[in-house]
C-alpha cells in the first residue's frame, strides 16, 4: 500500500498520544517470563515486534518464526536456551536471516548452551536445546549489537552461577544496556558494572506491577516535523521526563535544529525556536536510531554534518545509510520513496513533504513494526494522506 503525503499549510498544531516503548516492553516481557511469580504489565506496546515476542513466549510450537523482529530474535535466542528439556527451531524473515547472530551464540555456548546453525554458520535459523546454563566468565564484542549484551543480561540471574561479562571494544547503543540493567534492578536484581566488566550473581526476579512509558524514538519524527514546519505547537503525551530511554537525547539534538521542547503538565510541548546553530558533527554511538530523522532534517535544511557512531546501521532492517542516501536523491526528481521494509525509513521521509511538496511513500504498512498509528497521527497534525490505487499509482 502506497500513500501520497502533503501538508497544505506547513503549520502543525496537534496533540499526540505516542506509542509505548517497544524497547521497554520487550525487556519486561522477558523479565515476566523469567520471573517465578506472575505480574501484570500495563500499556504494553502494540508494535509488531512486541506482539511477535509475546506470541513466541506463549507458543507451544517447536518452530518459532519471529518474522522481522530482530530484537525479539536475539532475546529469544538466550531465553529458549534456558528452557530445560525443550527443543526449538528459531527462525525469521529473510532480512533477519542475514543479520549476524554469531557473537551471541558463541557467548551462550561458552556458558553451556546447546545451539546449532541449520543453514549458514553465524546466522539463523537456529536449533536450540534448552539445558541448565552454567554461567561463568564470557567475553563479547560491544561494537556489534547492544542487544546481544542485553539478551545475556536478562537471563543471567537464572544461571547456575555468577555471570561475568567482559565487554571488548567500544560499546554501541550503551543506553540500551543501561536500560536493561535498570529494569532488572527494578525487579530485584543487583549487579555491578565497573569498567568493561558486568557481574550478576544467581538470584531471582521479584514480581512487580508496572506501566510502560511512551517511546522517545517515536517522538523523534515529531521533532523532525517541528523543525521543518513554518510554525508549530505539538503536544506529545506519555513521555517520561526522567526516562531510562537513551533517545531522550533527541531534545538536545533538535534544539540545535530550531526546536524548543519543554515539559508542561506531564506532556512535552514542541515549538519553534529562533535560535538554531547547525551542528558540524554528530556522534550517534549511543543513539543510532536517531540517524534517519536527523539526516533527513539536515538535508532538508541544506546542512552538511559529519555523522559518527553509525557503523551498525548497515545491519538493521536495511542498510540505513545507503538507503537514506539513495532516497534523498529522489526528492528533486521522482519524489517516490521506497522504504526497504524499514519502519524508520517511512517515518523519517514523510515529514519531508513540508519542504519538498507532495511525496509518495511506498509500503506504508512497515510503520506497524514500532508505531502502528503513525499515519493517523500525521493526519491529526494537518498532513493530507491519499491512498494510491493501481489506477493512480
Q: Whole-angstrom Cα distance, residue 69 to residue 317?
A: 9
pLDDT for 144 = 86
pLDDT, tens only, 297-341: 999 999 999 999 998 888 777 799 999 999 999 998 999 999 999
pLDDT for 66 = 95
pLDDT, tens only, 231-254: 999 999 999 999 999 999 999 999
- Whether the per-residue pLDDT at 266 is higher than 70: the answer is yes
Q: What percent of the chain has pLDDT over 90?
A: 90
- Whether the per-residue pLDDT at 274 is higher than 50: the answer is yes
Query: Average pLDDT of 199-226?
Result: 97
Homologous superfamily assigned to 2-20+213-388: Enolpyruvate transferase domain (3.65.10.10)
| Sequence ranges of the domains in the chain | 2-20+213-388, 22-211
pLDDT for 117 = 97
- Whether the per-residue pLDDT at 393 is higher than 60: the answer is no
Query: Average pLDDT of 58-63?
Result: 94
CA distances from 168 to 140, 141, 180, 301 (A): 6, 5, 19, 38
Query: Average pLDDT of 59-73?
Result: 93
pLDDT, tens only, 333-389: 999 999 999 999 999 999 999 999 999 999 999 999 999 999 999 999 999 999 997
Instruction: Reply yes or no: is the peptide bond before residue 370 cis, omega within 30 of 0.
Output: no
Query: Average pLDDT of 154-165?
Result: 97
Residues ≥6 apart with Cβ < 8 Å to 43: 20, 211, 212, 213
* Confidence class for position 390, pLDDT limits 50, 70, 90: low
* DSSP summary character for residue 122: T
Average pLDDT, the chain: 95
Homologous superfamily assigned to 22-211: Enolpyruvate transferase domain (3.65.10.10)
- Whether the per-residue pLDDT at 153 is higher than 80: the answer is yes
Question: Residue 128's beta-bridge partner residues?
Answer: 88, 115
Residue 372: CB atoms within 10 A of its CB come to: 18
pLDDT for 392 = 54
Query: Average pLDDT of 165-191?
Result: 95
pLDDT, tens only, 86-98: 999 999 999 899 9
289 is catalytic: yes
What pTM value is reported for the model? 0.94
Alpha helix (H) residue ranges in the chain? 22-34, 48-57, 70-81, 94-98, 102-110, 146-155, 174-186, 216-228, 250-255, 291-300, 320-328, 343-349, 353-356, 374-380
Query: Average pLDDT of 128-150?
Result: 94
* Confidence class for position 391, pLDDT limits 50, 70, 90: very low
Query: Average pLDDT of 204-209?
Result: 97
* Confidence class for position 279, pLDDT limits 50, 70, 90: confident
Among 247, 289, 342, 377, the one annotated catalytic: 289
Amino acid at each position: 500500500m502506497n500513500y501520497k503525503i502533503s501538508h497544505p499549510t506547513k503549520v502543525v498544531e496537534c496533540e499526540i498520544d505516542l506509542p509505548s516503548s517497544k524497547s521497554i516492553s520487550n525487556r519486561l516481557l522477558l523479565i515476566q517470563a523469567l520471573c517465578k511469580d506472575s505480574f501484570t504489565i500495563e500499556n504494553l506496546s502494540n508494535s509488531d515486534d512486541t506482539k511477535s515476542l509475546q506470541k513466541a513466549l506463549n507458543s507451544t510450537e517447536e518452530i518459532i518464526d519471529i518474522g522481522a523482529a530482530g530484537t525479539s530474535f536475539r532475546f529469544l535466542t538466550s531465553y529458549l536456551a534456558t528452557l530445560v528439556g525443550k527443543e526449538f527451531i528459531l527462525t525469521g524473515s529473510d532480512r533477519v536471516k542475514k543479520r549476524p547472530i554469531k557473537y551471541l551464540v558463541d557467548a551462550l555456548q561458552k556458558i553451556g548452551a546447546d545451539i546449532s546453525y541449520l543453514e549458514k554458520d553465524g546466522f539463523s535459523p537456529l536449533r536450540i536445546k534448552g539445558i541448565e546454563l552454567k554461567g561463568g566468565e564470557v567475553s563479547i564484542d560491544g561494537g556489534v549489537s547492544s542487544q546481544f549484551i542485553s539478551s545475556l543480561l536478562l537471563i543471567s540471574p537464572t544461571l547456575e552461577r555468577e555471570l561475568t561479562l567482559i565487554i571488548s571494544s567500544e560499546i554501541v547503543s550503551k543506553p540500551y544496556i543501561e536500560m536493561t540493567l535498570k529494569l532488572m534492578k527494578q525487579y530485584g536484581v543487583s549487579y555491578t558494572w565497573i569498567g568493561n566488566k558486568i557481574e550478576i550473581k544467581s538470584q531471582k526476579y521479584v514480581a512487580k506491577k508496572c506501566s510502560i512509558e511512551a517511546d522517545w524514538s517515536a517522538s523523534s519524527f515529531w521533532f523532525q516535523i517541528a523543525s521543518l514546519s513554518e510554525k508549530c505547537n505539538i503536544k506529545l503525551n506519555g513521555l517520561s521526563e526522567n526516562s531510562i530511554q537513551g533517545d531522550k537525547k533527541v531534545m538536545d539534538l533538535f534544539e540545535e535544529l530550531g526546536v524548543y521542547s519543554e515539559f508542561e503538565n506531564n506532556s512535552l510541548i514542541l515549538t519553534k525556536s529562533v535560535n538554531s546553530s547547525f551542528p558540524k558533527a554528530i556522534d550517534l554511538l549511543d543513539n543510532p536510531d536517531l540517524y534517519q530523522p536527523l539526516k533527513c532534517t539536515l538535508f532538508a535544511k541544506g546542512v552538511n554534518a559529519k555523522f559518527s557512531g553509525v557503523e551498525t546501521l548497515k545491519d538493521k532492517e536495511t542498510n540505513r545509510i545507503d538507503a537514506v542516501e539513495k532516497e534523498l536523491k529522489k526528492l528533486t526528481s521522482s519524489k517516490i520513496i521506497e522504504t526497504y521494509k524499514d519502519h524508520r525509513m517511512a517515518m523519517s521521509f514523510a515529514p519531508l513533504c513540508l519542504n519538498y511538496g507532495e511525496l509518495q511513500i511506498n509500503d506504508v504498512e512497515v510503520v506497524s513494526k514500532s508505531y502502528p498509528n503513525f499515519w493517523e497521527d500525521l493526519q491529526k497534525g494537518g498532513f493530507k494522506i491519499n491512498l494510491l490505487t493501481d489506477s493512480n499509482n
